[in-house]
């Protein structure tokens, strides 16, 4: 057998094509993430598939004498990581917006002063684009940013602040004119203008119809090179151990064309499992695009709907008002519209990925799934995106109806303090991203970044779920009883999202016959302290039996 030490492998990886032969990986803790959480010591890969997993003697025997041997020097191997919910095409394009978030400015006043300096001297042919302003975490004496604040900064230049969380924008008067918005423009269905006391739009936009309308006229956003931008992102994600992305959702046939082109490129070594935006049903039909299309690298698996907005933007739909207000949030869809989408989407052959942040939105989603099932519609693996605020009675219904969830765990890490002190109050904030309760109830969940809402690595997501520490106060834990076990948190970036993405026969665990997507870590996440998990180095990432990092 040919034998390669780890150092030699790293030096020669650019010229090797392991996917053409058989390679045996030895001297490692291989966390297979199979149903029994089996830990193996060796693994053989032939071509793009896993040939054998087990003891070194067993694997060497099954691989044959002509195999190459790679000594992993005591590293830890896991399946390639999966981010269950991302927006790689649109999220990448958001890089044309300048970050003014809490990581740069502690107050809105400081951020506005920076924006004023950044836009000085600009005219109508320029764009003033900013992102991540967060009224939940960045203090502001005026309480609300309106177009009047932005008009002072950019009287002649279209100006947009895409607020943190992605569900709200604030724009100036020039931008409203570009959108065709007048003082008398009514709210579109499922969306809402913020308004001054006299009823005029105040520049705040909530809801998909208005956000997509704004994005449609922002020239730098639309001219961004989504292909090359995505290729650059792939390198960053491979370095974090990522091999698969859930894309929730694909906004247009043009975006699906981008993903299809990326799938054909060797310099985009990522799988995508894609959800089509339900609101674009007519254009999908006209373009002939539907669930089931694609291959093992990029495939459409279902439909994406949104029942509400985001809690940090105070548009997540709640059973009870937000703290110190009478605001219940915003329903992006009526109950009847959700009911219809679940039935029709399922009958079209698609899985339903349903965005719900507030507990009332989650009620509406659960109700739709239950009614569809009672009517004899076999709703395929329904999943709730974010599922941020869940009550005990809802967790019981999720278990009963076999509904899984995916948590944006950065809600705890980055917004936990704001949810506790500003958005919900201390009692309700403990119901945020309840990984511990879900684990005890046996309700499957995955973890995701919602890129570009957050940019955590998969191991940083695991650490956030296991520790529930706050970024703003690292010694503070938001709900100790809601901490995840390390094993379940690892499943939440491997086997569970593979199941949710209808891909468990291909990826998510290291088992014979599955695609050879895996990562090699410097340390074992089960053996370091919880607050060290996010710092574990990703030594190698493999996809289809080829090293991509």
Cα angle 515-520-526, degrees, rounded to a multiple of 5: 110
- The verdict on 67 and 100 lying in the same domain is no
In angstroms, the CA 535 to CA 549 distance is: 17
Specify whether 121 is located in the same domain as 212. Answer: yes
Identify the DSSP state of 535. G
Q: Is 64 within a domain? A: yes
Residue 112, H or E segment: helix 108-119
* Residues 141 and 213 both lie in one domain: yes
Has residue 178 been placed in a domain? yes
Backbone angles phi, psi at 30, to 5 degrees: -105, 105
Half-sphere exposure of 63 (CA within 13 A, CB side): 31
Angle between helices 253-263 and 226-239 (to 10 degrees): 50
State the residue for tokens 């799934």: 369
Tally of CB atoms within 10 A around 244: 29
Task: Based on the fold, state whether residues 19 and 129 are members of the same structural domain.
Answer: no
Please say whether the beta carbons of 350 and 273 come within 8 A.
Answer: no
Q: Is residue 380 part of a domain?
A: no
Question: Is the pLDDT confidence value at 12 over 60?
Answer: no
215: domain CATH number is 3.10.310.70
11/311 Cα distance (integer angstroms): 48
Query: Mind listing the pLDDT tens digit for each residue in 259-278?
Result: 999 999 999 999 999 999 99
- Of 222, 239, 265, the residue that ends a domain is 222
- pLDDT given at position 90: 83
SS3 368: helix
Domain boundary among 167, 188, 222: 222
Asked if 316 contacts 388 with a C-beta cutoff of 8 angstroms, the reply is: yes
Question: What's the pLDDT band for 525 if we cut at 50, 70, 90?
Answer: very high
User: Are 166 and 208 found together in one domain?
Assistant: yes
Whether the per-residue pLDDT at 2 is higher than 70: the answer is: no
Residues 208, 132 share a domain: yes
Assess if residue 415 is contained within a domain. Answer: no
Between 148 and 17, whose confidence is greater? 148
Residues 24-59: tens digit of each pLDDT: 999 999 999 999 999 999 999 999 999 999 999 999
Domain limits at 208?
96-222
CB 50 within 8 A of CB 72: no
Q: Average pLDDT in the 286-296 region?
A: 96
Closest-CA residue to 8 (of 90, 70, 62): 70
Same domain for 75 and 100 = no
Pick the range with the lowest mean pLDDT from 107-116, 137-146, 269-278, 528-537: 137-146
Claim to verify: residue 14 and residue 64 sit in the same structural domain? yes
Is residue 538 in some structural domain? yes
Instruction: Quote the mean pLDDT of the chain.
Output: 94
Strand order in the sheet with 159-162: 98-99, 128-131, 159-162, 168-171, 201-206, 192-195
Give the chain's radius of gyration (CA, Å).
24
Average pLDDT over residues 214-225: 94
Q: Would you state the pLDDT for residue 11?
A: 39
Which SS3 state, helix, strand or coil, does residue 146 take?
coil
Q: Which is it for strands 168-171 and 201-206: parallel, antiparallel or unpaired?
A: antiparallel
Cβ within 8 Å of residue 497, ≥6 positions away? 82, 83, 84, 244, 246, 406, 446, 448, 508
Question: 487-501 pLDDT, tens per residue?
Answer: 999 999 999 999 999
Whether 76 and 100 share a structural domain:
no
Q: DSSP readout, 405-420? A: EEEETHHHHHHHHHII
State whether 9 and 42 are in the same domain. yes
Strand-strand pairing, 242-250 and 271-277: parallel
Among the residue ranges 74-78, 89-93, 439-443, the one predicted with the least confidence is: 89-93
Residues 194 and 148 in one domain: yes
Q: What pLDDT is recorded for position 126?
A: 94
Q: Measure CA 253 to chain center.
A: 21
Segment holding 175, helix H or strand E: helix 173-178
Model's pTM, two decimal places? 0.90
pLDDT at position 3 over 50: no
DSSP E strand stretches across 482-545: 518-521, 538-543
Q: Indicate if the pLDDT at residue 6 is higher than 60.
A: no
**Percent residues over pLDDT 70 in the chain:** 96
Last residue within a domain, chosen from 173, 195, 222: 222
Among the ranges given (15-29, 305-319, 387-401, 504-518), the one the predictor scored with the smallest mean pLDDT: 15-29
Tell me, yes or no, whether 87 lies in a domain.
Answer: no
Residue 92 has pLDDT above 90, yes or no: no
- CA 26 to CA 520: how far, in whole Å? 12
Domain containing residue 536: CATH number: 2.30.40.10
Note whether 117 and 202 are same-domain residues.
yes
Q: Residue 3: beta bridge partners?
A: 69
30 sits in which H/E element: strand 22-31
Q: Residue 102: which pLDDT band, with cuts at 50, 70 and 90?
A: confident
Check whether 234 has a pLDDT greater than 70.
Answer: yes
Cβ atoms 274, 298 nearer than 8 A: yes
Instruction: Look at strands 298-306 and 271-277 and give their pairing.
Output: parallel
- Total residue count of the chain as it appears in this document: 549
Residue 456, domain member (yes or no): no
CA–CA separation, 111 and 316 (whole Å)? 25
**For the chain, how many structural domains are there in total?**
2
129 domain-assigned: yes
Query: Cα torsion for 271, 383, 358, 431, to the nearest 10°?
Result: -90
Q: Which residue has the higher pLDDT, 170 or 11?
A: 170
pLDDT for res 20:
65
In the block, tokens 């400081």 appear at: 110
């Amino acid at each position: 057998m040919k034998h390669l030490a780890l150092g030699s492998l790293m030096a020669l990886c650019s010229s090797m094509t392991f996917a053409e032969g058989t390679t045996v990986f030895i001297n490692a803790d291989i966390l297979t993430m199979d149903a029994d959480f089996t830990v193996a010591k060796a693994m053989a890969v032939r071509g793009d598939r896993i040939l054998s997993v087990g003891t070194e003697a067993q694997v060497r025997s099954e691989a044959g004498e002509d195999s190459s041997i790679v000594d992993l020097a005591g590293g830890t191997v896991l399946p390639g990581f999966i981010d269950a919910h991302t927006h790689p095409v649109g999220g990448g394009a958001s890089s044309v917006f300048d970050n003014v978030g809490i990581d740069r400015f502690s107050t809105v006043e400081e951020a506005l002063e920076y924006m004023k300096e950044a836009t000085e001297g600009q005219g109508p042919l320029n764009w003033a684009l900013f992102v991540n302003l967060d009224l939940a975490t960045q203090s502001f004496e005026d309480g609300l940013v309106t177009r009047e604040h932005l008009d002072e900064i950019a009287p002649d230049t279209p100006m947009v602040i895409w607020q943190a969380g992605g569900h709200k924008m604030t724009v100036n008067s020039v931008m409203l004119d570009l959108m065709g918005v007048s003082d008398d423009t009514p709210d579109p269905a499922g969306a809402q203008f913020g308004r001054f006391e006299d009823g005029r739009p105040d520049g705040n936009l909530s809801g998909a119809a208005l956000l997509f309308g704004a994005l449609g006229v922002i020239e730098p956003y639309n001219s961004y090179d989504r292909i090359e931008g995505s290729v650059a992102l792939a390198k960053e994600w491979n370095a974090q151990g990522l091999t698969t992305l859930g894309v929730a959702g694909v906004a247009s046939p043009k975006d699906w064309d981008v993903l299809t082109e990326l799938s054909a490129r060797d310099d985009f070594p990522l799988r995508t499992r894609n959800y089509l935006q339900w609101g674009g049903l007519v254009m999908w039909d006209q373009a002939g695009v539907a669930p089931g299309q694609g291959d093992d690298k990029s495939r459409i698996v279902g439909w994406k709907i949104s029942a509400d907005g985001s809690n940090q933007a105070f548009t997540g739909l709640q059973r009870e008002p937000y703290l110190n207000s009478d605001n219940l949030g915003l329903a992006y869809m009526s109950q009847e519209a959700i009911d219809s989408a679940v039935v029709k989407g399922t009958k079209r052959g698609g899985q339903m990925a349903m965005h719900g942040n507030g507990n009332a939105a989650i009620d509406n989603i659960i109700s739709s799934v239950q009614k569809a099932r009672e009517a004899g519609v076999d709703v395929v693996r329904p999943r709730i995106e974010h599922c941020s605020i869940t009550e005990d009675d809802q967790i019981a219904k999720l278990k009963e109806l076999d509904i899984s969830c995916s948590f944006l765990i950065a809600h705890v890490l980055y917004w936990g303090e704001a949810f506790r002190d500003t958005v919900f109050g201390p009692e309700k904030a403990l119901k945020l991203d309840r990984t511990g309760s879900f684990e005890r109830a046996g309700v499957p969940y995955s973890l995701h970044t919602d890129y570009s809402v957050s940019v955590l690595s998969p191991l940083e997501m695991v650490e956030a779920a296991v520790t529930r520490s706050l970024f703003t106060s690292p010694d503070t834990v938001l709900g100790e009883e809601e901490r995840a076990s390390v094993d379940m948190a690892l499943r939440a970036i491997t086997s569970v999202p593979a199941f949710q993405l209808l891909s468990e026969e291909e990826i998510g665990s290291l088992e014979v016959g599955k695609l050879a997507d895996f990562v090699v870590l410097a340390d074992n996440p089960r053996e370091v302290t919880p607050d060290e998990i996010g710092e574990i180095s990703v030594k190698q990432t493999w996809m289809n039996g080829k090293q991509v990092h």
